[in-house]
Structure 1
Amino acid sequence: MVRVARLFVLASACFVSSPAPAEPGSGNTGKHTKPRVINTTDLGADPDDEQSMVRQLVCANEFDLEGLVVATGCWKKRQHDAKMLDKLVDAYGEVQQNLQAHAEGFPDVEHLRAISVMGQRGYGMGDVGDGKDSPGSELIIASVDKDDPRPVWVMCWGGANTAAQAIWKVRATRTADELAKFLGKLRVFDILGQDDAGAWIARNFPDLLYIRATKVYGWQPSDEYLSEHIQSHGPLGAMYPDRKWATEGDTPAFMHVYPNGVNDPDRVDQGGWGGRFDIAKKAGIRSMSPVKNEGEFDPYLMHGNTAEGAAAIKRWADAYNNDFAARMDWSVTDDYAAANHHPVAVVNGDANHRVLELAAAAGSTVELTAAGTGDPDGDSLSYTWSVYREPSSYRKEVPIENAAADSASVRVPQDAAGKSIHIILETRDDGAPRLYAYRRVIINAQ
């Protein structure tokens, strides 16, 4: 028992500390640092872009949205205007005050209108080069250039040529060091590959963090769920169209960076609401079938989905489905008491959303506590501590005592030295719909 008590102190001391409060405007709310996101979307090619945009808008308080860009892709090779996007943003404006009554951080509709711009109007690398700048590509450059240390995630719901144009211009107009600085702050999350620009980027800028998600089907909610909880809810619900092919194929892009305590987006192998990706880049992750010429850029390397595929998303299904439903409830009432709100998970006194890491000796016991975890509605809470085996480098059984209590003990196996063990705290309230909060603790066995 003495050894356990001493290790609790050691483990607590070895947690990676949260950063100092950021400068105003950085997005650091004290609970988490918001990810900076620019969504490029081939609206009109498939109703799923509109569906994903509705979900993005009702969780807009969790992100610093810096761009909503209408772009092209292999299923929509020309774009003429942003009217479809404008309608979605206008619907957000109708429910903005309701959303703001339930959580801080929802942007004003005027901000969203200001960042709703056109990207490349033409298709693929044919619309990249000298004289091809667009409001969208210029917006990407301006965002990355801001005096803000956080990376900018460009989410390609269609093709990647608006991002490619931004990179092309920076390479053409700046020094090699300036280009490297620019690329160091940029991240690209590419859904399925929908033009040849992604392969061009990956081939020419191999150090850029570039994810191509190809396992974006199989996690989605049912049509019945959508009818009951989403489409029936006010102006934004009315903007959520019926499925034509697959529902919300683009949503994993922003779910990857959703700041809910599950993962660090830069650690692509950790796994979160947007899936899990191999830490080693792969060659030849091809785009959708209409894109025929990516072989011209071989070899190009990207982070791709792990063997779990969409199962890495679906493991969190109750949480993200209920999150969406609750937020749609928020959109139709300004009465805080009329809807459910998320619990706030605390681990060993840390209330931030960041992934926590600690060092512990093999054969020792690590004490973890969720003391201080609370619920803004006063709901009762339940807890589950579990090992997330897939991203852990230690793959054998790891005993957890009191795994269903607010405090648990993790026994680090004797043969775990040099390995990592990923522990997930899942906290659930008993509201309707039941809402979840997470924390990840990575134990690095010594």
Structure 2
Amino acid sequence: MMTNRLFCILAALSLSALDICQAETPGDSYKPRVINTTDLGADPDDEQSMVRQLVCANEFDIEGLIVATGCWKKNQHDTKMLDKLVDAYAESYDNLKVHAEGFPTPEYLRSISIMGQKGYGMGDVGDGKDSPGSELIIASVDKDDPRPVWVMCWGGANNVAQAIWKVRETRSESELAEFLGKLRVFDILGQDDAGAWIAKNFPELLYIRATKVYGWQPSDEYLDEHIQNHGPLGAVYPDRKWATEGDTPAFMHVYPNGLNDPDKIDQGGWGGRFGLTKKAGIRSMRPVKNEPEFDPYLMHGNTPDGASAIKRWNEGYNNDFAARMDWSVTPAYSDANHHPVAVVSGDATRKVLEISAQAGSTVNLSADGSSDPDGDTLSHRWSYYSEPSSYEGELQVQDGDSSSASVTLPDDASGKSLHFILELSDDGTPSLFAYRRVIVNVD
């Protein structure tokens, strides 16, 4: 099969126009595979994040909902808290599926709502420590499916640690490498010592520890108005004790909305931005005292823009959540708003697009053909996203508020990659967004 890079090179030799080549990223029908491990009962924010995950469940292939432990909840006994949330989803399911295809059935979600490690940290990892959760992680990665599996650690990481431990003990080195190559770990704050153990012993694994997960959240007033008064799922969305939805950035990182490729962790999306170079000493939360014994261990961490890399998209993700909660209580499609479809240069997928162009040339950015399923009026905003770009100067997008924009590439931009974002929004209530990213690789 011809690779995208080779295709782009060959196309450049035969076409005089600017060549638009799709990066090897998820398409319109692509769903990320996710397993959420959650220390339910430690803080109400896990319940909050689970409600948001459930109302956007059609966008993901959720392969596991695992009750986990962590430094704030060192023992677990059953799935009752999780079952209550899935039961609320079941009451809302008939409405949700009216508004979008792909919502999983309640019966399916119940089948993957299981117990993980009942004990804390590396103390519950090793011989004879297998749990339904760790076994599910292994089975998921082993599926004949080329897509990676993202294990989201909302609490501790010892479920995925046990899965990796067993594979290491029972398979060859090449089989272990294959397993790790399909696995991704997104760790919220570090809530046991298992993350450090994984990072120390398996440095080839893509392991993100997100520590900048506060400061992006919606207000209590927003939650009162748009979330908590909306039917069964609103009723199980609790008031915050500390910060709201601290675990949500995990699945928001892989949300397939056209904004980013999750494997390109520095691009930036609803879940934040992360450095390409792993760093030592990204410590867990303060009750985890023994991580220095694993030093040095290396993880991908947040970029310096921290939570602002999430908050820059706040209108989009806030309105998305509010609209989906509307769906959960609205049985008629025509009585709710739905997301527009962003088309860039004729491409209607959600893929990141890449363009090759010469320094000093003018690049045209076209969203002609974009549409809205409700017939709403669309607004366009093209912008230069400087943080993930390798060019350090300023750039201005001409006619950035129209469907057809342009940008003149600086003469000194050769060898650089420039990121441009289309934010397409409708005038429905609430206003909903679709995104596309165009990366210009300057020759």
Give the TM interval when normalised to the shorter protein: over 0.9
> In structure 2, what is the Cα distance between the partners aligned to 1:18 and 1:171?
30
> In structure 2, what is the Cα distance between the partners aligned to 1:11 and 1:398?
22
Determine the structure 2 residue equivalent to 1:15: 21
> In structure 1, what is the Cα distance between the partners aligned to 2:17 and 2:403?
17
> In structure 2, what is the Cα distance between the partners aligned to 1:136 and 1:206?
23
> In structure 2, what is the Cα distance between the partners aligned to 1:383 and 1:285?
39
Determine the structure 1 residue equivalent to 2:87: 90
AA partner of residue 231 (structure 2): G
Q: Kindly indicate whether residue 273 of structure 2 is the aligned counterpart of residue 276 of structure 1.
A: yes
Q: Is the 8 A contact 2:19 2:356 kept in 1?
A: no
Determine the structure 1 residue equivalent to 2:68: 71
> In structure 2, what is the Cα distance between the partners aligned to 1:384 and 1:14?
20
Structure 1 residue runs without a partner (length 5+): 1-5, 20-27
Structure 2 residue runs without a partner (length 5+): 1-11
Determine the structure 2 residue equivalent to 1:116: 113
Equivalent position SS for 2:22: coil
Q: CA 1:359–1:226 in 2, change beyond 3 Å: closer, same or farther? A: same
> In structure 2, what is the Cα distance between the partners aligned to 1:123 and 1:18?
39
> In structure 2, what is the Cα distance between the partners aligned to 1:180 and 1:276?
26
Q: Is the 8 A contact 1:285 1:302 kept in 2?
A: yes
Q: Kindly indicate whether residue 438 of structure 2 is the aligned counterpart of residue 441 of structure 1.
A: yes
Equivalent residues in 2 for 1:206-285 (5 A)? 206-285=203-282
How far 1:112 moved relative to its partner?
0.2
> In structure 2, what is the Cα distance between the partners aligned to 1:274 and 1:34?
16
AA partner of residue 13 (structure 1): D
Determine the structure 1 residue equivalent to 2:3: none
Aligned positions, number = 431
Write the deviation string for residues 406-436 of structure 1: whole angstroms up to 9, x where unpaired.
0111211110000010000010100000001
> In structure 2, what is the Cα distance between the partners aligned to 1:17 and 1:10?
20
Determine the structure 2 residue equivalent to 1:23: none
Equivalent residues in 2 for 1:372-411 (5 A)? 372-411=369-408
How far 1:13 moved relative to its partner?
3.1
Determine the structure 1 residue equivalent to 2:158: 161
Write the deviation string for residues 78-135 of structure 1: whole angstroms up to 9, x where unpaired.
0000000001001100010100000001000011000000000000000000000000
AA partner of residue 373 (structure 1): S
Mean Cα deviation higher: 350-359 or 96-105:
350-359
> In structure 1, what is the Cα distance between the partners aligned to 2:209 and 2:283?
9
Write the deviation string for residues 182-214 of structure 1: whole angstroms up to 9, x where unpaired.
000000000000000000000000010000000
> In structure 2, what is the Cα distance between the partners aligned to 1:399 and 1:307?
23
Superposition RMSD on alpha carbons, in Å?
A: 1.4
> In structure 2, what is the Cα distance between the partners aligned to 1:89 and 1:11?
52
Equivalent residues in 2 for 1:28-67 (5 A)? 31-67=28-64
> In structure 2, what is the Cα distance between the partners aligned to 1:268 and 1:32?
21
> In structure 2, what is the Cα distance between the partners aligned to 1:72 and 1:11?
56
Q: 311, 320, 325: which one pairs with 2:322?
A: 325
How far 1:52 moved relative to its partner?
0.1
Q: Is the 8 A contact 1:275 1:309 kept in 2?
A: yes
AA partner of residue 370 (structure 1): A
Write the deviation string for residues 282-309 of structure 1: whole angstroms up to 9, x where unpaired.
0000000000000010000000001111
Determine the structure 2 residue equivalent to 1:24: none
Q: Kindly indicate whether residue 348 of structure 2 is the aligned counterpart of residue 348 of structure 1.
A: no
Q: CA 1:18–1:10 in 2, change beyond 3 Å: closer, same or farther? A: farther
> In structure 1, what is the Cα distance between the partners aligned to 2:261 and 2:422?
15
Q: Kindly indicate whether residue 331 of structure 2 is the aligned counterpart of residue 334 of structure 1.
A: yes
Question: Identity of paired residues, percent?
Answer: 76
Equivalent position SS for 1:290: coil
> In structure 1, what is the Cα distance between the partners aligned to 2:23 and 2:387?
25
Equivalent position SS for 1:416: coil
How far 1:354 moved relative to its partner?
1.4
Q: Kindly indicate whether residue 426 of structure 2 is the aligned counterpart of residue 429 of structure 1.
A: yes
> In structure 2, what is the Cα distance between the partners aligned to 1:32 and 1:439?
15
> In structure 2, what is the Cα distance between the partners aligned to 1:69 and 1:313?
26
Q: 190, 195, 200: which one pairs with 1:198?
A: 195
Q: Kindly indicate whether residue 299 of structure 2 is the aligned counterpart of residue 302 of structure 1.
A: yes
Write the deviation string for residues 115-165 of structure 1: whole angstroms up to 9, x where unpaired.
000000000000000000000000000000000000000000000000000
